[in-house]
Amino acid sequence: MPVRSLGSSVLRWPSREEVEEALKAWLARHPIPGLVAAGYFGSYARGEAGVGSDLDLLLLVAHSPPGNAPWGFP
């Protein structure tokens, strides 16, 4: 998830704050029925993210019948 700096052609990795805002914006655009909480864990949560880090998400829903996940997989 590299981001291009406006004043440079050098790629930089987004900060924890930028990732949190992007996650909030994504959830606002893609509502998940019954979503109780959303969070992340791993290197971003520990403040250790760097080049090559991925975002480990945890989405907690109130109820999701087996095989009926809104995002297309059980």
pLDDT tens for residues 16-39? 888 889 889 999 999 888 899 998
9: in domain: no
Find the angle CA(12)-CA(14)-CA(19) to the nearest 5 degrees.
165
Q: How many CB atoms lie within 10 A of CB 29?
A: 7
What percent of the chain stands above pLDDT 70? 70
10: in domain: no
- Expressed as residue numbers, the domain containing 67 is 16-74
pTM of the complete model: 0.62
5: in domain: no
1: in domain: no
DSSP at 33: T
3: in domain: no
**Pairing verdict, β 3-4 and 11-12:** antiparallel
Question: What's the pLDDT band for 65 if we cut at 50, 70, 90?
Answer: low
Give how many domains the chain has, as a whole number.
1
48: in domain: yes
What percent of the chain stands above pLDDT 90? 20
